[in-house]
Amino acid sequence: MDIQRSGARSYLFSALDYQFVLAIIASSPSIIVIISGGPLVTASILVGSILAAVALSHYSDLRIIDVDLLFAAFCFAVVVSFALNGYRDSKQAGLLFLSLFAYFAGRFAPTGMQRTSFISVTVVVVFVGAVATLISLATQKVALLKPIVFGSDHSAIVFLASLSYLIIALLSTELRRRHALLGVALAPPLGIFAAAQVRFTFVALAAAMLSMIAVSRQKQRNLALCFILALAVLIGLVSRLQTTSIYFKQIFDPNTIMTRKDSLQAARPADPCLDGASAGNSFVARKVLLRDAVKAVPSSGLFGTGLGSFPSMTCVPNSEPHNSILQATIEFGWLGGLALLGMIAVALWRLASPARINLEARFVFGSLVFVVVAGMAHGILSGEMLLFLFAGYAARLISTMNSSTEASSASSGFRRGS
């Protein structure tokens, strides 16, 4: 009995440590922005956190499932593409293989764990980012621009991503009073990041929340929390109504831009690359990238044109497609694109049913939806560490739950037969 209790304590400690490391991985972009570290610090955080997750993993009961086979097919396409086409940037190649290695950090994750340490770490990161963003909004000289936080105008995007994982964790927890209070406390940071004019990340968060509500049995409580958070976003947008209206106008008017000089709409020379629109409208640039990526797919062949080859196929300078599946199809071929798409689709499909009754499965399901949708507008394969980690985590849960179901069925059958 003492040995069993000791083993249980050891497993719980390991599980909580894994959740702590998972929080570091999920919020690594935010942490890197906050500490403003150089390349060595960045590499240490990324590599160290993945290695720590692998070290804390459990390697029992491994059963190969369809998600694993699709991941293996994608890796095969990557290796063959590297052999045939080489690569253009050693840094991007290294980050890609680190992202692929993250699959194993999720595939052998200890299951049945609490998310207490995950929530605790992420809360600290989110509130540090929210306070810094609020200070920047209050003190910046040009009121209409995105705030410069820790030296970058993209900081609010990564802070909102961390907040998104925190909300997903709360929606996959038995909602008690303290969780409800924490959910209400997240409204101000959400409003701050909305005021900072973060855009598509909110779309990804909304997709994750709606998908989790669809599979949840606590729909009323979750809808109430979502209503509070949606109200916070609306208040944040209205608080900078002039800036919000200009960014929304960019969607419909390709000549609407902002400049750092006066932060108002300004005329720029028409850019032939952007179909005659003025340079400086990110919506138009994304539309051109999407158009060029779709055009490149038919000529990609079975194993693609190689990592980093897409920028030479578009007139938008130094730009990837910003869509992970399209990039995989172009640079790693039809096999690579289909394998990646299949891995994502099968993982979500297989995990949807367990997510109805299992909170851990719901957390992974919501996280995977979030990272996949975000990757439709911000995705770059070399930076898709969380996509592969949560895909591996999904495979772990699917495999474990299938094993438990089969074992239970076999046991029931034995009892009936006896």
pLDDT along the chain (418 residues), means of 10: 41 62 94 86 90 85 89 96 88 92 92 83 94 90 75 88 93 70 82 86 90 78 75 79 69 56 47 56 74 87 88 77 90 95 96 91 95 88 93 93 52 36
**Domain presence at residue 68:** yes
pTM of the prediction?
0.85
**Domain presence at residue 30:** yes
**Hunting for tokens 């293989």 — which residue is that?**
97
Q: How far apart are CA 105 and CA 155, in angstroms?
A: 26
Residue type for 378, please? H
**Domain presence at residue 416:** no
Q: Find out whether 372 and 344 touch, Cβ atoms under 8 Å.
A: yes
Q: How far apart are CA 345 and CA 343, in angstroms?
A: 6
Count up the domains in the chain and report the number: 1
- Cα distances from 211 to residues 37, 152, 348, 349, 390, in angstroms, run 36, 32, 10, 12, 16
**Domain presence at residue 411:** no
**Domain presence at residue 414:** no
Residue type for 35, please? I
Q: How far apart are CA 305 and CA 312, in angstroms?
A: 11
The pLDDT score that the predictor gives to residue 372 is 95
Instruction: Name the DSSP letter for residue 278.
Output: B
What is the phi-psi region of residue 114: left when phi exceeds 0, alpha when psi lies from -120 to 50, beta otherwise? beta
**Domain presence at residue 197:** yes
Contacts (Cβ under 8 Å, ≥6 apart) of 20:
117, 118, 121
**Domain presence at residue 413:** no
The pLDDT score that the predictor gives to residue 90 is 86
Tokens of 53: 């997750």
Q: How far apart are CA 265 and CA 248, in angstroms?
A: 13
Instruction: Name the DSSP letter for residue 277.
Output: P
Q: Find out whether 205 and 160 touch, Cβ atoms under 8 Å.
A: yes
* Tally of residues, the chain: 418
**Domain presence at residue 417:** no
The domain of 399 spans 2-265+276-406
Interhelix angle 187-195/219-239, rounded to 10 degrees, is 40
